Amino acid sequence: MIHAEAHRSNRVGWLRAAVLGANDGIVSTASLIIGVAAANASAANVLLAGVAGLVAGAMSMAAGEYVSVCSQADTEHADLELEKKSLEQDPASEEAELANIYVNRGIEPTLAKQVAEQLMAHDALRAHARDDIGLTEITAANPVQAALSSAAAFTVGAALPLIITWAIPGTLLIPAVASTCLFFLALLGGGAAHAGGAKVTVGAIRVTFWGALAMALTAAVGHLFGVVA
């Protein structure tokens, strides 16, 4: 019976985009709300700024992820086309290159040559994509998935400080948004670390620290401009 481990690398594409989106949604929207509130804006203006930040941020995250991952996909496609041309022009050299890769990984030369021959006969381009370039189905770029994951996660993350802003206006707004969002950031960092197989505590502290720094800086800027105004 073949034992199959539950690897986490197949989560890399959507997990990275989702964590980045949710983190940005919480941090940017909470910081925006805190900054505007620190400038003594009205409750309606603070809420409006938060909603505008959610919409603009979600679209920005989706567009940014799509363009970025499309660029990655274009590079991967170009590498595959180059490899395909090399296989058509000089298959013997490509087979020797593949065998040499396996030798460098510790396989005996004769066996490495046999493996290279069989893989070239089965699917030469796929073998070179995996072992020469380092491309697999798991790591292949998926622009639409990245864009949708990032935008959806940003929206969910940004909704959290918006709900608090709507529910708790007045002098309690800033401490309520800051404390609640830092708590959510800790959960997000810890959860992402757990999903990726890393240390939960390190992930939580890392995300919370940068979130707290962003909120503190925007609060200082808002307070400064509020005083000047």
Residue 66 in this model has a pLDDT that exceeds 70:
yes
What's the pLDDT score for residue 141? 65
Q: What does the pLDDT read at residue 228?
A: 43
Higher pLDDT, 226 or 205: 205
pLDDT at 182: 92
Instruction: Name the residue among 161, 192, 159, 187 with its Cα closest to residue 175.
Output: 161
Pick 110 or 146 by higher pLDDT: 110
What tokens does 179 get? 């404390």
pLDDT tens-digit readout, 10-49: 445 556 667 778 888 999 999 999 999 998 888 899 999 9
Structure-block tokens of residue 187:
């959960």
- Read off the pLDDT of each residue in 88-115 and give the average, rounded to a whole number: 84
128-163 residue pLDDT tens? 777 777 766 655 667 888 788 888 889 999 999 999
Q: What angle do CA 15, 18, 19 make, to 5 degrees?
A: 80
